[in-house]
Amino acid sequence: MTNNDIFRRIRYTFDLKDNTIVDIFALAEVSVSQPQVTVWLKKDDDDAFVAMKNKELAAFLNGFISFKRGKREGPPPAPEAQLNNNMVFQKLRIALNMKAEDVLAVFERVGLPLSNHELSAFFRKPSHKNYRECKDQMLRNFLLGIQRQLRPNPNGSDSDV
């Protein structure tokens, strides 16, 4: 998944308006404009599309944690220059204040049952022997499960984001 895909899915799932997204970046002490947000949300084949950098998505996710859970004392964490699916997954889990049971229920919602051991492997350090890389499909299913939980479609089908 690209950073823009993740960004678009989060925006849709939580029904975030452009001005709210600007405010979320501000919580991470990063200044962005509404036109910047708009070009990140464009479809990949649009001429005005701009790819979102890792540092920009990391700043958004850090701000999203503050947005959902409240701002912590002290300076906000610096956005990571390198970002992978495991880190995105972890930041979303923190932002949503989810325990293991909550995350497992999200995966159940999309028909992908996981064990507690499989789940905990995603949140280990890469140097740990039981570390497991979070593939795009796993992150996509997590985001889809959250979407189904927060924005159930009365027709029973999921819309494309």
Q: Domain for residue 161, yes or no?
A: no
**Co-location of 65 and 121 in the same domain:** no
- Inter-residue contact 65 to 94 (CB < 8 Å): yes
Q: Is 159 a member of any domain?
A: no
CB atoms within 10 A of CB 19: 10
* Distance of alpha carbon 96 from alpha carbon 81, whole angstroms: 23
| Alpha carbons 66 and 9: distance in angstroms, whole number | 19
Task: Tell me the CA end-to-end span of the chain in Å, nearest whole number.
Answer: 13
**Does the pLDDT at position 153 exceed 90?**
no
Report if residue 39 sits inside a domain.
Answer: yes
| Domain match, 125 and 54 both | no
Q: What's residue 159's pLDDT?
A: 52
Residues 72 and 90 in one domain: no
- Structural domain harbouring 40: 1-79
Task: Give residue 158's pLDDT band: very low, low, confident or very high (50, 70, 90).
Answer: low
pTM of the model: 0.90
Q: Would you place residue 89 in the very low, low, confident or very high pLDDT band (cuts 50, 70, 90)?
A: very high
Q: C-alpha dihedral over 79, 80, 81, 86, to 10 degrees?
A: -140
Q: Point out the domain boundary residue: 52, 79, 106.
A: 79
The pLDDT assigned to 154 comes to 58
pLDDT exceeds 80 at position 157: no
Determine, yes or no, domain membership for 137.
yes
The pLDDT, as a whole number, for residue 77 is 84
Is 158 inside a domain boundary? Answer: no
Count of domains for the chain: 2
Q: Are residues 69 and 34 in the same domain?
A: yes
pLDDT digits (tens, 9 = 90+) for 3-58: 999 999 999 999 999 999 999 999 999 999 999 999 999 999 999 999 999 999 99
The verdict on 65 and 124 lying in the same domain is no
User: What pLDDT is recorded for position 72?
Assistant: 83
Residue where one domain finishes, among candidates 38, 56, 79: 79
Lookup result for tokens 């740990």: 128
Tell me the per-residue pLDDT of 118-144, one tens digit each, with 9 for 90 and over: 999 999 999 999 999 999 999 999 999
Torsion angle (degrees, nearest 10) of CA 106, 108, 109, 111: 130
Q: Is 101 exposed, middle or buried (0-12, 13-18, 19+ CB in 10 A)?
A: exposed
